[in-house]
Chains A and B, each alone.
Chain A
Amino acid sequence: MKEFLKSLAWLDYFYLVFTDPRKLSAALMRESRSLPFGFVVPAFVSIMDILAFSLMGSETPFFYTKITYGWILLYILLVFQNVLIGSLVDTAGQVLGYQGNIKNVINIMNYALFPRVLLLPAILIFSVFGFAPVFFYVLISMALFAWSAAIVVQGLSEMHSAGLGRAAAVFFMPFVLVGGVAFFTMVLTVISIFGYFTA
């Protein structure tokens, strides 16, 4: 790992995140040490996320607690989110006939988070000049989420040697399924509660 860090090869991954997600996916699959290093990205993103969100309001001294310890909680949540979504995406890939490789899926998802760090400098500018920072926070967050999703889809496409459409289907299938299940659960719950009170 020490040699990997010294070689600065990890810098290339960050470069490829922005320029060529397909090459990134291929490079990550070749280098096993990229997986543990990839968990640094959610940590970096957690800190930047907390700072960007804190810029939206007049903070209290709780900010120092958030930036000292809160980011660890957010980091754990991000890692958990990546592992959970990665598992579902990998399962979806297997359902569609591709070979499963959860490590690679989680790895590409970790690196795909990296563009989110750009939220802070962008929001800092809007915040300093007082130009609708909250609006741009939401807008840029959505754009960066779409960017991350696009990186993962291209990475999956490279990983499974599949077209972009199939890779997108693999990526979005868990969201559609989980969303659908959640929606029907909510509808059934509401009907049950309504029935309970009217019966």
Chain B
Amino acid sequence: MDKNRKIVVSILILLVLSSVLAIIDISLTMQSTGRSGYRLRTHDTGPGVGIVRIYGPIAIDTAAGGPFGMAYGSDAIVQRLDDLSRDGRIKAVVVRINSPGGTVAATQEIYDKIMRLRKNNIVVVASMGELAASGGYYVASACNYILANHGSITGSIGVIAVSPNLKGLFEKLGIRMNVIKSGRYKDLLSSYRDISQEERELIQEMIDSSYKKFLADVSLGRNIPIPDIEPVADGRVMSGETALRHRLVDELGSFETALAKARALAKLPEDAPVYDEVTNPIERLLMSLQGARGGIDIRVDRGALYNLPAVEYRYQP
């Protein structure tokens, strides 16, 4: 086959591929919108509400950027918040949270970013899903207004560091570790030996420091004095209803209510557009190829996989 024919064949293959992609796109759009009538795909341009979703354990992912250059973990959340703050159309943001919390640093980064949005006069409303406990609540506390469902699990204000003690198992199996270290605490929280009292105190100091920061930040975000929070800041989880009684949330309501509240607080009309994360089916498909679902998903749990000890704002039933 000569060169010219090969070019034509390439064009024909491209056209067939485009047709397949178009059919997938149209079918997926049809399923996601579920509309009974034809509606022109238009892109909103007016002032509106941005959506950020925080689903799963919060962590800074070290494997940054997939094949399509998408960030994972809390970096992706911060990036999304940053994008929204730079977008002139965004007058309010709804942070949808369904997370048991996560690492201290990652949670604090998201908290700080939300506080910056507030300083830039962008209204931020938190909407709790099934779970917004510990670090999930920490993030919510940065928002101007918090809505929880009646049955949302929240609270768990506290810090935890868990490390398995496998000494007995190691002894049973006859496994002994060779450890060469530069300092006495270098193998702190190692799983092959007991923790010493000194080591426990060191970790406790770190936990206490993070706990104080947690309390101070919740107090700042919620505008409630620390002594008023302390009685329920003992790691207990609670329902949305109980959290409302303790002023940890402002109102009981769904995601839709949160959107309406965000519009009201930002003085936007009731039908102001909502700018969600990636909505195009093909774009979603491309992202799913690198593991990012629906734009941003921080479902990263490397600690559990590699059994690395970590200090976390996390609810661990």
| Given A15-B4, A63-B30, A57 contacting B39 (CB threshold 8 A) | yes
Residue of A nearest to B35 (CB): A58
Specify the main secondary structure of chain B where it touches its partner: helix
Q: B18 touching A124 by the CB < 8 A rule?
A: yes
- One of A48-56, A144-152, A171-179, A180-188 contacting the partner: A48-56
Q: B29 touching A59 by the CB < 8 A rule?
A: yes
Whole-angstrom distance from the CB of B144 to the nearest CB of chain A? Answer: 29
User: Inside 8 A of B7's CB, which chain A residues have their CB?
Assistant: 15
Q: B35 touching A60 by the CB < 8 A rule?
A: yes
User: Inside 8 A of B8's CB, which chain A residues have their CB?
Assistant: 11-12, 14-15
User: Which of A57, A120, A129 is within 8 Å of B41, CB to CB?
Assistant: A57
Q: B36 touching A133 by the CB < 8 A rule?
A: no
Residues of A within 8 A of B (CB-CB), count: 31
Q: Is B308 located at the chain interface by the 8 A CB criterion?
A: no
> Considering the complex, which residues of chain A in the window 69-96 have a beta carbon less than 8 Å from any beta carbon of chain B?
none
User: Inside 8 A of A134's CB, which chain B residues have their CB?
Assistant: 40-42
**Interface size bucket, B side?**
20 to 34
Distance, CA A117 to CA B26, complexed state (A): 18
Q: Is B19 located at the chain interface by the 8 A CB criterion?
A: yes
Q: Is A130 located at the chain interface by the 8 A CB criterion?
A: yes
> Considering the complex, which residues of chain B in the window 1-40 have a beta carbon less than 8 Å from any beta carbon of chain A?
1, 4-5, 7-9, 11-12, 14-15, 18-19, 21-23, 25-27, 29-30, 33, 35-40
Q: Is B282 located at the chain interface by the 8 A CB criterion?
A: yes
Whole-angstrom distance from the CB of B3 to the nearest CB of chain A? Answer: 10
Specify the main secondary structure of chain A where it touches its partner: helix
Whole-angstrom distance from the CB of B75 to the nearest CB of chain A? Answer: 23
Q: Give the number of residue pairs across the A-B interface with Cβ within 8 Å.
A: 88
Distance, CA A52 to CA B14, complexed state (A): 14
Distance, CA A57 to CA B33, complexed state (A): 11
What 1/0 flags go to B270-296 for Cβ under 8 Å of A? 000000000010110000000000000
Q: A58 touching B29 by the CB < 8 A rule?
A: yes
Q: B280 touching A58 by the CB < 8 A rule?
A: no
Q: A120 touching B30 by the CB < 8 A rule?
A: no
Q: Is A8 located at the chain interface by the 8 A CB criterion?
A: yes
Q: Is A128 located at the chain interface by the 8 A CB criterion?
A: yes
Residue of A nearest to B1 (CB): A8
Q: B280 touching A54 by the CB < 8 A rule?
A: no
Q: A121 touching B33 by the CB < 8 A rule?
A: no
Q: Is A61 located at the chain interface by the 8 A CB criterion?
A: yes
Q: B19 touching A8 by the CB < 8 A rule?
A: no
User: Inside 8 A of B282's CB, which chain A residues have their CB?
Assistant: 124, 128
User: Inside 8 A of A8's CB, which chain B residues have their CB?
Assistant: 1, 5
Distance, CA A56 to CA B23, complexed state (A): 12
Residue of B nearest to A125 (CB): B18
Q: Is B43 located at the chain interface by the 8 A CB criterion?
A: yes
User: Inside 8 A of A58's CB, which chain B residues have their CB?
Assistant: 29-30, 33, 35, 38-39, 41
Q: Is A112 located at the chain interface by the 8 A CB criterion?
A: no
| Given A124-B18, A127-B41, A128-B283, A15 contacting B5 (CB threshold 8 A) | yes
Q: B25 touching A127 by the CB < 8 A rule?
A: yes
User: Inside 8 A of B14's CB, which chain A residues have their CB?
Assistant: 121
User: Which of B1, B15, B18, B40 is within 8 Å of A57, CB to CB?
Assistant: B40
Which of B18, B33, B35 has the most CB atoms of chain A within a 10 A radius of its CB? B18
User: Inside 8 A of A27's CB, which chain B residues have their CB?
Assistant: none
Q: A11 touching B9 by the CB < 8 A rule?
A: yes
Whole-angstrom distance from the CB of B223 to the nearest CB of chain A? Answer: 39
User: Inside 8 A of A12's CB, which chain B residues have their CB?
Assistant: 4-5, 8
Q: A124 touching B5 by the CB < 8 A rule?
A: no
Q: Is A67 located at the chain interface by the 8 A CB criterion?
A: yes
Whole-angstrom distance from the CB of B197 to the nearest CB of chain A? Answer: 60
User: Inside 8 A of A47's CB, which chain B residues have their CB?
Assistant: 19
Distance, CA A63 to CA B28, complexed state (A): 12
Residue of B nearest to A17 (CB): B8
| Given A12-B5, A54-B26, A55-B22, A48 contacting B33 (CB threshold 8 A) | no
User: Which of A14, A56, A121, A128 is within 8 Å of B280, CB to CB?
Assistant: A128
Whole-angstrom distance from the CB of A100 to the nearest CB of chain B? Answer: 31
Distance, CA A82 to CA B282, complexed state (A): 35
What 1/0 flags go to B33-71 for Cβ under 8 Å of A? 101111111110000000000000000000000000000
Distance, CA A60 to CA B27, complexed state (A): 9
User: Inside 8 A of B41's CB, which chain A residues have their CB?
Assistant: 55-58, 127, 133-134
With A54-B22, A59-B29 given, can you name 5 additional A-B contacts, CB distance below 8 Å? A12-B4, A15-B8, A58-B38, A130-B280, A134-B42
Interface, chain A (partner B; CB < 8 A)? 8, 11-12, 14-15, 47-48, 51-52, 54-63, 67, 117, 120-121, 124, 127-130, 132-134
Q: List 5 A-B contacts (CB under 8 A).
A: A12-B5, A47-B19, A51-B26, A55-B25, A58-B38
